[in-house]
Structure 1
């Protein structure tokens, strides 16, 4: 084996590259980590909240892999569409591992979802994370009331960023347009709602507690909704014990419900955690979102929920849905539209029931948007083990002596590691000019100018 391409430079792609250069059956193999963006790290750069500095520091260990002598980062290389096709990549590399993640959000599928003022949480996260595909002025934050639909960590992140003051986020790498919008935010009420109960929420206890630590914000919980959950009051005799995280989450919510009295001061913002509410329509006024109509649900006794026949409406001028991610088909690869993944056998891409020679998948496009960042390591190792088993067959496939030159011949403008380092210098210089630490460049022209050295650096 001489050359392997990994498509995607998020954790799954970088862990795949790490496993490839470390595998004893692949001595001397060289790996190109391709990405559509000129910047590496995927959701660690563009999905982790800016105030989660400990998680964002994972970039340093990912960086070490990209600096390995047999690993090369090649950014600004889209695969599919106007970029390079999987068929063309197959002619440049002996094997290709696709780690393209789950690039879009799950829609609610309810009336009014398309109204102005209705957005996916993915769009909102991309905006405050300076993703170059996000429109710079998309969120003016003139709404007084916001509904976040979802009770997972993304929903908690969105609620927390909306409730934070701009001064708290100034030390982070939040781009200037987003920081300015957050400084002038009119948001006073944030409602986070899910159709299930608190014991079935997807947020972690650490994320949940961070909401209660926000200065100037008060958390509200409806005790009547908590007691609906059979797990809230404790398990029945003989029932299996609750998972530790669920038990801790319920303890936090129990404490907030017991401390419902105000301290006499008016908080800058309130965050209301709501349960057993299923969105059925977004309400409209003057052509924009004006609220959300929910059907009240209740436990059905089998772990699910049932509609009760009653409804509740919450006023809102901004609605953000955070109900999960979904993989997108890649032209030239098979795709399972139900699961939102590429069909595979231990990471080998399947066309029907037959493995496709030289094509592999890892990460969310392989298993769906599940698990935490660390889950990608074992997922990547499984895929690389399959590739290593296939190495005797793959070694006979041709590989281009200079794939980057071939990509340029296809009309692409690859950004290699030196270009990424130039972007880093430009972001540090931008931050210094604003009296801040490094600040992300939020647009394609700015990133490409920086990659060429045409910037403040």
Structure 2
């Protein structure tokens, strides 16, 4: 079997296959030299507790039935039809790393950034530039999910506060040099519908250099909102925390995170030289969980905008893709062509299967559903099926694939870098350097 994408979704699929009664041999094919996907490249560096899941994922990668093949990109280094020569079935689990569009004027101005791009930068993703423009004094973050809070927190905290994490030198230097003093987070609806977790929200208030300002304008909860929080314990905890912060006295800390509710962004202002502001319209509840505009418009003086309204999967060459839903069409994980017909031997799991929603538990159940179909339907069909055949073919193509042993070498190197500076690890953020270290050079 081949699983394309070595993030949690792909690794959980491998785990499900190993735990089945079938005799399996699994190649986890990953475009990066390092595994773990968004756990490594999507979790904020000052949230190491979330990355504890890596320990469980690594145990799966270490199983004898699994081979990690890194630095191989489906659609560039290998084609899907070529993989079918070597594997009886292929599972696509490439996740979601792109930003959803906001679809308002000015979205493409210089200084208007996708949150996913910024996250990739501060998480030292090897495919993004090592510099980031951080010269805005006031910035806007659009969205009320955990990613929006991560972005706001990283923008507000000092570089020295972040130096205890795994960020490499280029990220530290960028954060240390930033001039941001105020971060404004905008929510289209009221506080009852904020999507961030209670813990994530409380952590905003832990920095000695940052204070959280919850603005009372728009801080209303209608009857539908009360019914909503009564059904969702986490939302009630979020509302209680926010309510305690409304109107509290400021402590005079140098940086501030402002939370604005019932403000819908309508336009990013500026020109060729960059962002000069954000225009929002005050909203009011419609009684059914939705909102409508009131016509009251405010222009906010910001010099950068970060759009944190969700991730989006991207198409893979040779694999059907629903552009509107941004998923691979499927029936319970069995890939369908654009006419709705099954494609034998091709499966999908994770966010590219169901969209970028849900937590790890959903990813596990996704994998279980997909693998159950795969095991029930797959029979030996690949003409060449040995690992030696795969390795020889990649070598003949000149693909510089990496192994689990090379990842372990890079992992040990990062941990050693961290020990030298009193940290758990320091990431290596440049692909050629990752490959060099992995090769033992």
Q: Give the TM-score normalised by structure 2.
A: 0.95
Mapped to 1, the partners of 2:293 and 2:231 lie a distance apart of 25
1:370-385 alignment, distance < 5 Å: 370-385=357-372
Aligned equivalent of 2:95:
101
Matched-pair contact (CA < 8 Å) for 2:229–2:235? no
Aligned equivalent of 2:398:
411
How much has 1:228 moved relative to structure 2? 5.1
Matched-pair contact (CA < 8 Å) for 1:120–1:320? yes
Matched-pair contact (CA < 8 Å) for 2:214–2:259? yes
The 3 A distance-change label for structure 1 pair 416 and 315 is same
How much has 1:417 moved relative to structure 2? 0.9
Q: Please list the CA deviations of residues 171-225 of structure 1 after superposition, one character each: whole Å capped at 9, or x if unmatched.
A: 2111211111212221110101021121112111110111122222111112231
Aligned equivalent of 1:307:
293
Matched-pair contact (CA < 8 Å) for 1:94–1:399? no
Instruction: Return the match for 2:40 from 37, 45, 51.
Output: 45
Instruction: Return the match for 2:310 from 320, 324, 335.
Output: 324
- Say whether 1:398 aligns with 2:377: no
The 3 A distance-change label for structure 1 pair 230 and 290 is farther
Instruction: Return the match for 1:131 from 125, 132, 136.
Output: 125
SS in 2 for 1:107: coil
Aligned equivalent of 1:350:
336
Mapped to 1, the partners of 2:87 and 2:421 lie a distance apart of 44
Mapped to 1, the partners of 2:292 and 2:140 lie a distance apart of 22
- Say whether 1:6 aligns with 2:17: no
RMSD of equivalent CA atoms? 1.7
Mapped to 2, the partners of 1:389 and 1:360 lie a distance apart of 13
SS in 2 for 1:273: strand
1:186-265 alignment, distance < 5 Å: 186-227=179-220, 229-230=222-223, 234-235=226-227, 241-257=230-246, 259-263=247-251
Aligned equivalent of 2:61:
66
- Say whether 1:16 aligns with 2:13: yes
Mapped to 2, the partners of 1:211 and 1:373 lie a distance apart of 23
Mapped to 1, the partners of 2:239 and 2:419 lie a distance apart of 44
Aligned equivalent of 1:178:
171
Mapped to 2, the partners of 1:390 and 1:167 lie a distance apart of 54
Matched-pair contact (CA < 8 Å) for 2:224–2:289? no
Q: Give the TM-score normalised by structure 1.
A: 0.92
- Say whether 1:78 aligns with 2:64: no
How much has 1:7 moved relative to structure 2? 0.5
Deviates more, 1:369-378 or 1:149-158: 369-378
Matched-pair contact (CA < 8 Å) for 1:228–1:298? no
Deviates more, 1:358-367 or 1:179-188: 179-188
- Say whether 1:120 aligns with 2:114: yes
SS in 2 for 1:56: helix
SS in 2 for 1:218: strand
How much has 1:57 moved relative to structure 2? 1.4
The 3 A distance-change label for structure 1 pair 230 and 220 is farther
Where does structure 1 lack aligned partners over 5 or more consecutive residues?
none
Matched-pair contact (CA < 8 Å) for 1:36–1:75? yes
SS in 2 for 1:415: coil
Mapped to 2, the partners of 1:399 and 1:228 lie a distance apart of 62
Deviates more, 1:281-290 or 1:315-324: 281-290
Q: How many residue pairs get matched? A: 438
Q: Please list the CA deviations of residues 20-76 of structure 1 after superposition, one character each: whole Å capped at 9, or x if unmatched.
A: 11112x12x110111000000000000011111111111111000000011111100
Aligned equivalent of 1:273:
259
Mapped to 2, the partners of 1:243 and 1:317 lie a distance apart of 36
